[in-house]
């Protein structure tokens, strides 16, 4: 996997902040449903791919 340097990118910083908020909520829900964790991992992969595509 490529390492994406996102320290100086405000858009990616905002995406990561939102992603972390979603992760926190998902972790609360994961206690009740393992399927939620699977979906969360798919979302993470999608977000990573979008960020990678944005970089070219």
Extended strands (E) in the chain: none
Output the pLDDT for position 7: 64
Write down the pTM of the prediction. 0.41
Output the pLDDT for position 29: 74
Write the pLDDT tens digit of every residue in 1-56. 556 565 678 888 888 899 999 888 877 876 777 777 788 889 889 988 988 888 76
> 10-19: long-range contacts at Cβ-Cβ below 8 A with a sequence spacing of 24 or more?
12/51, 15/47, 15/51, 19/44, 19/47
Which residues contact residue 47 at a Cβ distance below 8 angstroms, ignoring those fewer than 6 apart? 15, 19
Q: What is the radius of gyration, based on Cα positions, of the chain?
A: 13
């Amino acid at each position: 996997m490529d390492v994406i340097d996102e320290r100086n990118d405000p858009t990616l910083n905002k995406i990561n902040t939102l992603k972390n908020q979603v992760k926190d909520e998902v972790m609360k829900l994961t206690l009740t449903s393992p399927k939620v964790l699977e979906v969360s991992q798919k979302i993470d992969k999608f977000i990573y791919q979008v960020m990678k595509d944005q970089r070219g």
